[in-house]
Structure formats: C-alpha cells, structure tokens
Structure 1
Amino acid sequence: MSAAEHTQKLEVVEICAGAGGQSFGLHRAGFTHRLAVELDTHAAHTLEQNLRRVLKEDGVDVPADLVKVGDVASPATWDPDSYKHVALLAGGVPCPPFSIAGKQLGSSDERDLFAWAIELCGRMKPKALLLENVRGLSTKRFSGYRQAVLDKLHDLGYIAFWKVLQASDYGVPQLRPRFVLVALLPEYAGYFSWPQKSAEQRTVGDVLSDLMGENGWPAEDVEKWVAGAQSIAPTIVGGSKKHGGADLGPTRAKKAWEALGVDAMGVANNAPDKDFKPREGATGPKLTTEMVARIQGWDGEFADWKFLGRKTSIYRQIGNAFPPPVAKALGEAIRDALLKKGTPRPLIETSSTVHDPVYKLLRRQSRPLTVEQIITRLAQVGVSMEEPEVERHLNHLGHDFELEKTARKTGELAYSLGQFKAFVGQDDHQRHDLFTQHRTRIS
C-alpha cells in the first residue's frame, strides 16, 4: 500500500496485536496505525520495529507512542478516550477461553477479553470493529455468550456480521479456521461483503521448496519432499507460554505433519544440509521458524516482516498470529465499506438472528421458568426442543452467566438468567486477581 493510498487516513487502533500478522495485513489494505497495544514484550518489540519501518517506507507520519506494552484492559497502559471515532478498532483477543483444545472456560478465564472489546467499541465509537478468535467461539457451547455480545453491539448501534473463515481460502497453505466478527455503523454496513476466496490454493511443498534447499539438501531430495507435501498444513499451534518449547501440535496434528514429510517434534535451527537424514521414526526434516512463518502467511508481499528474539519466542509469536493475507482481505472489505464503494445492499435485521433461543427466552422473562415451561414457551414461537437439549443449553449458560435456580413446591427447578460473568471493565471482577496471579503464563 503506497503513501498516496494511505492519505485517506483510515486510522486503526489495534488491541492484542501480537507480533503483527493482523497489523501488516491491515496496513497493506490501506489502514494507518494510530496505536497498537500488546502484552508480550517480545512480540511488541517485533511489532514496533516492523510497523514503524513500513509506515516510514510509505511516508506516513509515525506516532511516537505507536506501540504500547502492557495489559490492554489497564488504564495504566493506554487511554481509549484519546482514540475515539477512529475508522477501525481491531484485535485478536486471547483464544484459550474458547479453544476446543482447552477447557473452554469462556468468561471464567482471566484471559477472556472478547466481551470487554465489545464494551471498548461502545466507548471508542469507531466506524468499524474487527475481532478474530478461534473457531470454538462459533460452537453451541458459546451460543449464549455469542448472543450476548451480538445483542450488545446492536444496542450500541452497530450492524454485526460473523463468519468462520479458513486461511487456506485466502492463499495461506494452512487450514487455520478463525471466528471473525465484523461490526459497522449502519451508514457503512450495507457496503460490507465478506472477501472473495482466492482462486488458488497453495501447498506446503510449493511455498517451502526454496527454503528446504537453501542449506545444501540435494535437489533430488528436495524435489521428492516437495512432491510429498502437496497439501495444506494443519493449524500451526504451540503459541502459548504454557506449552513449553516450540512444538507443532498434539498427536493428531503430528500425524498430519508426518503425512506431509515433516518432523513435528520441535523446530530446527537450520534447513536440512547435504548430509541430512530423518531421525528414526520421522518422515522428513523439521521446519525452521522461517518456514513456519511462510506457512502462517508471511510470504510474497508479506515476506519482509522480521521476527526478533530467540527461537522459542519467535515460534510463539508466529503461532499466535493472524495470517497477514487473511487480515488484508478482511481489511480491504472493511475499507471498501467505509469508503462506500459499490452499491449498498439491503440489510437483514441482524438483531433478529437467534443463536441461543433459551438465552433469548430467559433474558426476556421476569419470572423463573422450569424446563417444561421453557419447552412450552419455545414451541409457541416455533422452536422445538426436547428436555435434554434444553438442559444442555442451561448447562452452557451457567458457565458464562449467573444462572439462578429456584425450587418449586413440586420439587422442580425454575431458572432465571442473571448477570453476564464476562469481564467488561468491572473494578471488582475476579479477572484482576487471576490476571495478576497468572501474568507470566498469559500470551
């Protein structure tokens, strides 16, 4: 993106920015960073050096406080009121609260900032909001949580859209499904459309062929490896400080890597040399961090992003990132909406979308309802549910909301929905103590 194309000043404030995958993609789409906030000092160092460089190369005035390091929810880190009405508020808030691979604690996890980011949107009043997270947030477990944040956006005056996107649909040689939430003020929402998929799907072998041969591995061995790696990679994982060293994933992922001819038991310092032989039990070489970055989308126009730090830190930075090509595609779609390009399309009233009918019903009721009453009330509005399904919904809701239970004389329990447990900025929320206790392992 040239300096001229940045002159329209579509400014972005990015929270939980990591090492800059989303940052670089949004920059290439024409957004100019006014501020980026990141907790991890190593990732923030990478982000600061690279983002400042690309802004300068495009002739953009770079703010002195371009990157702030610290807890994004702490007033000591930054003042959101100083950045009101920017074009875009964006972020990749922590994923572990919703990850299928984790405990899915949702609002009970001190790392959960998704609902807080919605409140932040209401405070800053940007023209558009972009949040990405793991696919787990789109599952039934979080239907009530999802309903609560979408209803809140509607109350704040935004039109919200959400979708699960696959990175491989946008030129990234990796599966990596991500839950993406986009919200815009009504005057721009009609111009928004999800980005078109890329016509070409790239493979691991194609994007890594030159790197595999750069250290002397014989050409015939490289060609054989490339021929066996003509598929996309499983999701890059291992970006959490809790996982220890660099590792390409759990057993299922390791088997997928094995089929691609990759040794997933760690990350190599260098590409294979002329004497390389796979270790016993492995089908090929380990990847270097540069190779992992390629698979994460740092290739082509995104190749000049330099990661700083030691190998494990670099791997975590890459593993936590949002693929730049996907961020660029989303950024272009949001940019075009904000510039009102094309013909606006009619909008379906998004607030009528029901993700969790039990949540919706209990939220409207002033009196507690038994399971039987919930089933009857839902049937009256055309929703058919059996007792076990209603009980599953109630169980899920109990994780993220205060679910109050009242015993009837008949012995039945009646349910009413209390407060959302999620952190939205409360001074007395348990998140503060838990965050302090676990600060060193949060990433």
Structure 2
Amino acid sequence: MGNKILTMNSVELFTGAGGLAIGISNAGFRHQAAIERDKNACLTIRSNQQRGIQSVADWPVFPADVTQFDFTTLQVKGEIDLLAGGPPCQPFSQGGKHQGWDDSRDMFPQFFRAVRELKPKAILVENVKGLLRSSFSQYFEYIILQLTYPEIVQKSGEDWVDHLSRLERHHTVDHHDGLSYRVVFRNLNAADYGIPQKRDRVFMVGFRSDLGVEWSFPAPTHSQEAILWEQWVTGDYWERHRVPLSERPEVPKKQCDHIYNLQSSLFPPLTKPWRTVRDAISDLPVPGSEEGSSRVLNHVVIPGARKYPGHTGSPLDQSAKTLKAGVHGVPGGENMLAFHTGEVRYFTVREAARLQTFPDEYFFPHCWTQTMRQLGNAVPVALAEVLASSIRTHLLRVKAIQA
C-alpha cells in the first residue's frame, strides 16, 4: 500500500485548544484546515507550532468565525476524508441556559453546511451528554437526519420543526438521491477507553452512503470493575504505586456492594482498570518545587482551593470528575484534587492536561483561568485518536478496494 493511499485529508471545525484535532492527527489524518474563532485558542495552537510540536506543526490554522467561512476556498488535493468538530456545547449543557436551537451559539447548522459543501467521506461530531435529554430529543433527531441528508436544506421562512418533518418524510421513502450519510451515535464515557477521567460525551459518526462502510463504535477497553478489583480484591494497585496502608483511603461506601460481589467472583474482569488521577500524575514532581517548575511545563500551584458541601474535588485514587470549562466556581470542584487526608488543591495546568491526555510537550501560554477553560472544552486526545483510528481503518479498506 503506497503513501498516496495512506494519505488522509481532514478538516476540523471549532478546533479550540486542539484536543480532538491532535487525536485525529495522531491517527494518521492530515488537517487541511483547523478553524477556530477564539483568539486565545488559536494562540495556544500557534505557540506549539512555533515550538515545533509535531502533532500540530503543519496545521493551516484559520482564526475565523465558521459562520463567515467559505469552505470552497480551501485548496485541497483530492477529497476530504474526515470532517470533524465539536460545536459549542453551551446551548445543550446541563449548566447552561438550555436554549438549544434558540441559542445564537448553536453551530450545528454550520456543521451541516460544511458537510454539504465539503462532501467528506466521513464525519465525526462531539457534544455534551445533555444533548440526549428529553427536552432536546426532537432537535437531536433533527441533527441526525440533517447529517444523514445534508443536501435537503432548510427553506427560507421554514423553521427547524417543519424542516424535520420534511426530513422524516424523505427518510421513509425507498430511494434516496444525492449526498447522504450512514450516521450512528453513542454516549461514551472517556474512562472506558483509558482516559483518567469520567467524562460522558455524545459522539456522532457517519460515513458517506456510496462507500458502503459498515462501522460500529470501538468496544470499551477499561472498566470500573477492573480498578475496584485491583484496589480492593488483590491490592495490586496500591503495591504498584507503593502506597502504604496508612496512606490508603477508606473503601468507598457507594461501592461496597459492588466490591463484595467482585470478592465473591472467581475471575477478574477481562478489561483493563479505569485509570485514576494517581495513575495520570504520580510521576510528576511536586508542583511548586524547584524541579516541578523548571522541568515540567505549566506545572505551577494556584492557591485558594477549598472544599465545601457539593464542592469536594476529584479523589486521587479514582478517575477524575469531568473537567469543565468553568474555573473556581464549578459545581463539584471538578478542577480540584482531593487527598485522602481531606486536603484539596487546584490541579495544575499540566495535571489537568494529563487528565485530558494532552502530550507533556504541549504548552498552554495563557493564565490558569483561560487555560482551564480551554482544557474543559477539549476532547481527550487519546479518545479522539481511538475513534479516528477506527474511522481511518475503514476508509483505508475502501481505498484498497477502489485502488
């Protein structure tokens, strides 16, 4: 199989700090455009390009509002193999105003336009779990059907509900002409794929219908059962990290029944264990120390962390809570690390980047507040790579057949 067959073109919308895009790049795609309107996020990417970070080195970054972007201006040799992006989640987030389609930040229509104009072989979309709530169920159906039939456009004066009815009627006919995609979706927990963070997000993946691709989401590789087994049945976890009995937390009360059932089992779980915060950061030097500040990028302690009811942080020996784009006032204290002693502190930027599986050489040039916003909005790099690798494998099969 020659290099020409191995070359895969991609376009990324709503790139942010680059989590999804880096994962896609690591999977073997070459970005022909990375579009992001936030100047701070663009500066993060360009700072790493200037530092020679390989995964972002050749990205053409467009600091542009996607609503004003003309996709026909892209100079691309061959077809776009993958169009990816995570439209702003605020319209559908649990912590937002829940305005959905009435929110000016709803950028799904722009993603539809990009699909229509670029006609990529595959699409990958990420968004918050809140999109699956019953209050958005009709709009979610609309998103799936519009991704399926991107050329059936909304008419002038037609609202999205009437447009949905037209899409439904088209979907039920026997034959479909024009551009169409086979689209599937699933709510994925990043922890199930080796990311040290419990992070539920909706992913939508589609392949152009003419390619005849049969695809399903990759099976989870990690489980909570496996980490509970290592911690509370065999104790291997504590031995691996050399944690003495005096420094181990108490058995989590919520998991007592679960652990008892595991102890009664004769066989360990077949999956790998969920990765914990300790797994992710234990090899980092103490933040604030001379070694920590000089050897590790972005590894500086931010003072002022405190816990109170409902704001307790992520326990060191569990997968982290979901990092969010808020900072000091995030419900649950998702941006804090909680020790078994009861002490808490804020995650350093590098620790938070580890929880999102960004490479250690990736530099964040902004203050802690702005950087945590970028990290909270990002897709974990390693999860993006898992999905993009699977998509690429199926596209390579199509290229091999067509060659």
TM-score normalised by length of structure 2: 0.66
Q: Is the 8 A contact 1:83 1:124 kept in 2?
A: no
Q: In structure 2, how many angstroms separate the alpha carbons of the residues matched to 1:114 and 1:143? A: 15
Tell me if 1:203 matches 2:276: yes
- SS of residue paired to 1:210: coil
Q: In structure 1, how many angstroms separate the alpha carbons of the residues matched to 2:374 and 2:33? A: 19
The aligned counterpart of 1:32 is: 30
2:105 partner letter: R
Q: In structure 2, how many angstroms separate the alpha carbons of the residues matched to 1:173 and 1:229? A: 11
The aligned counterpart of 1:309 is: 366
Q: In structure 1, how many angstroms separate the alpha carbons of the residues matched to 2:144 and 2:193? A: 26
Cα deviations across residues 146-183 of structure 1 (Å, max 9, x unaligned)? Answer: 11122223334110011111111121111111111111
Tell me if 1:115 matches 2:109: yes
The aligned counterpart of 1:42 is: 40
Matches within 5 A, 1:257-336: 260-261=338-339, 283-298=343-358, 302-336=359-393
- 1:53 CA drift (Å): 6.3
Q: In structure 2, how many angstroms separate the alpha carbons of the residues matched to 1:318 and 1:285? A: 18
The aligned counterpart of 1:62 is: 58
Cα deviations across residues 326-372 of structure 1 (Å, max 9, x unaligned)? Answer: 1000100110111127999xxxxxxxxxxxxxxxxxxxxxxxxxxxx
The aligned counterpart of 1:184 is: 207
- 1:126 CA drift (Å): 0.6
> Over alpha carbons, which structure has the higher Rg?
1
The one of 156, 168, 185 aligned to 1:162: 185
Cα deviations across residues 31-59 of structure 1 (Å, max 9, x unaligned)? Answer: 1011101111111111234357668x48x
Q: In structure 2, how many angstroms separate the alpha carbons of the residues matched to 1:53 and 1:112? A: 34
Q: Is the 8 A contact 2:336 2:347 kept in 1?
A: no
The aligned counterpart of 1:138 is: 132
1:213 partner letter: V
Q: Is the 8 A contact 1:191 1:336 kept in 2?
A: no
Give structure 1 regions of 4+ aligned residues with deviation exceeding 6 angstroms.
Answer: 4-7, 52-55, 256-259, 341-344
2:325 partner letter: G
The aligned counterpart of 1:237 is: 324
Cα deviations across residues 104-146 of structure 1 (Å, max 9, x unaligned)? Answer: 1111111101132123201210111111010011222111111
1:247 partner letter: H
Distance 1:61 1:307, change over 3 A: closer
Tell me if 1:82 matches 2:74: yes
- SS of residue paired to 2:117: helix
1:79 partner letter: F
The answer to which of 137-146 and 330-339 deviates more is 137-146
Distance 1:17 1:102, change over 3 A: same
- SS of residue paired to 1:326: helix
Q: In structure 2, how many angstroms separate the alpha carbons of the residues matched to 1:319 and 1:178? A: 12
Q: In structure 1, how many angstroms separate the alpha carbons of the residues matched to 2:400 and 2:217? A: 15
The aligned counterpart of 1:376 is: none
Tell me if 1:340 matches 2:397: yes
Cα deviations across residues 254-301 of structure 1 (Å, max 9, x unaligned)? Answer: 3x7779329xxxxxxxxxxxxxxx9xxx62332211111111222xxx
Alignment identity in percent? 33
1:48 partner letter: R
Cα deviations across residues 406-431 of structure 1 (Å, max 9, x unaligned)? Answer: xxxxxxxxxxxxxxxxxxxxxxxxxx
- SS of residue paired to 1:325: helix
Tell me if 1:194 matches 2:248: no
Q: In structure 2, how many angstroms separate the alpha carbons of the residues matched to 1:214 and 1:53? A: 23
CA RMSD of aligned residues (A): 3.2
The runs of 5 or more residues in structure 1 that have no matched partner are 218-227, 240-245, 263-277, 345-443
- SS of residue paired to 1:97: helix
- SS of residue paired to 2:66: coil
Q: Is the 8 A contact 1:189 1:337 kept in 2?
A: no
Q: Is the 8 A contact 2:192 2:220 kept in 1?
A: yes
The aligned counterpart of 2:88 is: 94
Q: Is the 8 A contact 2:20 2:381 kept in 1?
A: yes
Q: In structure 1, how many angstroms separate the alpha carbons of the residues matched to 2:216 and 2:399? A: 10
Q: Is the 8 A contact 1:192 1:336 kept in 2?
A: no
Distance 1:343 1:326, change over 3 A: same
Aligned length: 296
Q: In structure 1, how many angstroms separate the alpha carbons of the residues matched to 2:318 and 2:399? A: 36
Cα deviations across residues 369-388 of structure 1 (Å, max 9, x unaligned)? Answer: xxxxxxxxxxxxxxxxxxxx
